[in-house]
Amino acid sequence: MELLKKLTQASAASGNENNIFDIIKKEIEPYVDRIDVDAMGNLIARKIGDGKKVLFAAHTDEIGVMANYIDENGFVRFAPIGGVDLYSALYQRVRFHNGTVGTVCFESKSDVKKDLKVSTTYIDVGASNAEEAQKLVNPGDTAVFDGDFFEREKTVVSKALDNRAGVYILIEAIKQIKNNSLDLYFVFSSQEEIGLRGAKTATYNIEPDIAISVDVTDTGDTPGCEAMDVKLGNGPAIKIMDKSVITHKGLRDFISRCASDHSINCQYEILTFGGTDAGAMQTVKSGCITGAISLPVRYIHTPCETANKSDIDGCIKLVGEICKKDFILV
């Protein structure tokens, strides 16, 4: 879990994914044939084979904020990067890339129940005026939410498990793959949180036969939550649908058979909101056979995202086993 901790605690809001590239490269360089970084900021690793061309994608970016105005009293106004829930963000700490820490606050004259919006929130960086604040933060600077990594017996809690957990799963799977016949591409993709952008361009360039996204998904096992047949601790979720994609049935069935053959407990995901890189990969050029493996995570897009360790291990094993097989899609 030390690598997962390192990945989650790095700062990489959308557009600043290169902040974790050194961590990824150090881990995978001995196990892949080449590593490239494209113009969109995707890190792409390849294990060369003479079989089908298979792409796995896990996005590296996380939600955050961008400073866009500093007022005369030194308070920082901001724009969200990705799906920032203001209720979850309120009175949370954010950390800018230069180390400056601020707190997301709400204008006291307003009614939080009626008036909570970006225009009524600001970041307090402890400055007394604009001049002091500008020594710490400038418009265009990005920050991510602070959320320490800690382990319980069965679970891990941290900011940015969406989707550093997916990055971790691909890294650990890469280490397990020996003598592959498939031509394997592992895309650590950029700018997923603001529109699935990196996966789209990488898939266009690679032209895979099959593409599989590895990301997180919500759960339906907490009090009062939206009904959903995914639970923490029940294994990887094989995605059927979300707002961005309906996955290929033959590929879903193949992944399910692979899990069953290797005694990996799985569940099925039907998400009525949100999207993943699979949505972009499926529609590139003339289309691509696309699927997705999802890690169940509670409290997504908060500083206390929560995942089960056995689910993480199940995802690693499943990706590794998929990479050993020829794809037979019925």
Angle at 296 between CA 291 and CA 298, to 5 degrees: 140
- Check if the beta carbon of residue 319 is closer than 8 Å to that of residue 214: yes
Closest CA to 199 of 292, 322, 294: 292
**Residue 106: CB partners within 8 Å, gap ≥ 6?**
90, 91, 112, 116, 120, 121
Distance CA 58, CA 312 (A): 14
The SS3 of residue 156 is strand
What phi and psi, each to the nearest 5 degrees, are found at residue 140? 100, -20
Distance CA 22, CA 27 (A): 9
Closest CA to 271 of 292, 249, 302: 292
Q: Write down the residue that tokens 């809690």 correspond to.
A: 157
The SS3 of residue 283 is coil
Active site residue 192: yes
What phi and psi, each to the nearest 5 degrees, are found at residue 40? -85, -5
- Cα 113 to Cα 48, 84, 299, distances in angstroms: 55, 17, 21
List 17, 27, 172, 192, catalytic entry: 192
Question: Which residues are part of the catalytic machinery?
Answer: 192
